[in-house]
Amino acid sequence: MQFFGGSELSPSPPTPTGTGTENNSHMIYIFNRNGVCLLYREWIRPLHTLNFQQDHKLMFGLLFSLKSLAAKMDPTCADKGNLGVPQLPGQGCSFHSFRTNTYKLNFMETPSGIKFILVTNPGTGDLRETLKYIYNLYVEYVANNPLYTPGTPIRNRSNNTRHHTFPSLF
């Protein structure tokens, strides 16, 4: 499904698992390597407990610690730093997702430190291809946008409409 003009984006959006009609995704976060939340959108979020600043910090801290933990517990890698020692982004193994009984959190980090988090229904399958697709969108609309300053939250109006149509992909 094409929802933007211009050339076909490759790869094309992956076919979703599960039914295609309901909205599977609850929230999306995009962070950069300094912890700045570049983008946050929510579609289904019945309970708000914290204000946005605290929520973003909590999310970023959670991911940082989980990555550290996953790298430390890696049985295949010979050389491991101590837990808490800062690692190069992308080094060591990185976790992809965790699932609870009410939601699933999917995660992808690029070597440049951009982190994509998608919180969805627990029934969704492996969303790594979808996250890669979102990364391609990020590159096309954000990194290549001359009016965007890297490291600041994404505010462009046209980006908002794109993200509104995005959940229908799932």
Partner 1 sequence: MTAAAPRSGEAIFSSFERVNAELFTLTYGAIVRQLLTDLEEVEEVNKQLDQMGYNIGIRLIDEFLAKSKASRCVDFKETSEMIAKIGFKMFLGVSASVVNWDADGSCCSIILEDNPLVDFVELPDTCQGLYYCNVLSGVIRGALEMVAMKTEVTWIRDVLRGDDAYELQVKLLKQIPEEYPYKNDE
Please report how close the Cβ of residue 93 comes to partner 1 at its closest, in angstroms: 11
- Binding segment (CB under 8 A) for partner 1, from list 17-25, 37-45, 56-64, 158-166: 56-64
Q: Which structure tokens are listed for 147?
A: 């009016």
Residue 59 CA, distance from chain mean position: 11
- CB neighbourhood size of 105 (10 A): 22
- Binding segment (CB under 8 A) for partner 1, from list 19-27, 97-105, 110-118, 152-160: 110-118
Is the separation of the CB atoms in 104 and 120 below 8 Å?
yes
Of 34, 49, 51, 100, the one binding partner 1 by CB under 8 A: 34
- Binding segment (CB under 8 A) for partner 1, from list 13-21, 53-61, 70-78, 162-170: 53-61
User: Could you say which DSSP state residue 34 is in?
Assistant: T
Q: Which structure tokens are listed for 87?
A: 């690692």
135: contact with partner 1 by CB under 8 A: yes
Is the separation of the CB atoms in 121 and 103 below 8 Å?
yes
Q: Which is nearer to partner 1, 112 or 161 (CB)?
A: 112
Q: How many CA atoms lie within 13 A of 53 on its CB side?
A: 0
* Contact set with partner 1 (CB under 8 A): 7, 10, 33-35, 57, 60-61, 64, 85-91, 110-114, 132, 135-136, 138-139, 143-144, 150
